[in-house]
Amino acid sequence: MIRISPDAEQRLIRRLRRLQGQARGVERMIQEGRECREILEQLAALRAAAHQAFLFAARAYIRACAQEDPARSAEAVQTLLTALRQFP
């Protein structure tokens, strides 16, 4: 199993925890009956942050794969490209 560096792992976990906080914030906004525009802006920010977390994780895993097993780096790139196709 290929693992990212401890530093990258901690940075990714921090990003994910921030995303969780943002999602809880949006949930509160909905429950409070905040303006639709505000909610949509926060959802757009949440989506952008999730995309950045994905890109960070993808780069970290590609680097780890290339360092640990250069023969598998092509497979890792293909996996990344497949995942990227899922984003609009």
Condensed to tens digits (0 to 9), the pLDDT of residues 12-25 reads: 999 999 999 999 99
Q: What is the phi/psi pair of residue 3, to 5°?
A: -120, 145
68/45 Cα distance (integer angstroms): 35
What is the pTM for the complete model shown? 0.77
Q: How many CB atoms lie within 10 A of CB 57?
A: 19
Q: Greatest CA separation found in the chain?
A: 53
Alpha helices in 1-88 (DSSP H): 6-32, 36-68, 73-84
CATH number, domain 6-84: 1.20.58.1000
Question: How do residues 28-58 score in pLDDT, each as one tens digit?
Answer: 999 999 999 999 999 999 999 999 998 899 8
